[in-house]
Amino acid sequence: MAKDGNSRDNEEVAAQVDVGTYLHRTSRLGHDLIVSLLLKHGADPNIVTDFDGMTPLLLAAKEGHVRVAVALLSDARVDVGQRHDAGGRSALDLAAIGGHADVISAIVERQSDVLDSASDETGFSALHHAANHNAVDSIDALVNAGANLEKRDAEGCTPLVVRRRPPC
């Protein structure tokens, strides 16, 4: 029995979601070789199938899996500036909060224009997030990459002033 176009399209969407689920799991767990293999076979690096609105790059950045992040960043299709649904944080923001200097370096090497972008209604840059969470390694990596020390958040505060407040 021949399938109509809609059935075939639905099967392709279901298959992509399944692959996306594997891509999320392997990104979260740090399995860079499997991530590379999935990407090589067409997995969408920007798919949002995780229950909390995370992409594979956001998961890798949050968990500090630099080799997974590098594998994802090597795919031309990945959206480096894509933001997490909850809080509007980017991969750079999540790496900064977690103190993952090596992930920060990989992201900035791929796309330096995300360095000083504001994340959400707070107007925090990655350097603000790092300062707010006392992530010294992240602060060093961001400053060395050229982050703007005078960038002001929504309240008009620089990262140094944010650092003096208690973490949120």
The better pLDDT of the pair 12, 64 is held by 64
Residue 100 maps to a domain: no
CA gap 102, 43 in Å, rounded: 24
Indicate the pLDDT class of residue 165, thresholds 50, 70 and 90. Answer: low
CATH label of the domain that carries residue 8: 1.25.40.20
**Residue numbers of the domain that contains 73:** 1-79
DSSP string, 92-139: HHHHHHHT-HHHHHHHHHH-GGGTT---STT---HHHHHHHTT-HHHH
Residues in the chain, total: 168
| Amino acid 94: pLDDT | 94
Distance between CA atoms of residues 77 and 86, nearest Å: 23
Q: What gap in Å lies between CA 84 and CA 82, rounded to an integer?
A: 7
- Number of domains forming the structure of the chain: 1
Residue 84 resides in a domain: no
> What is the pLDDT, as a whole number, of residue 168?
45
Q: Which residue has the higher pLDDT, 149 or 121?
A: 149
The model's pTM is 0.84
Residue 49 to residue 23: CA distance in whole angstroms: 10
Residue 66 in domain: yes
H or E stretch covering 22? helix 5-29
Closest CA to 111 of 155, 160, 78, 64: 78
Q: What percent of the chain has pLDDT over 90?
A: 58
Note whether residue 135 is domain-resident: no
Calpha distance 18→160 (Å, rounded):
44
- Would you say residue 61 lies in a domain? yes
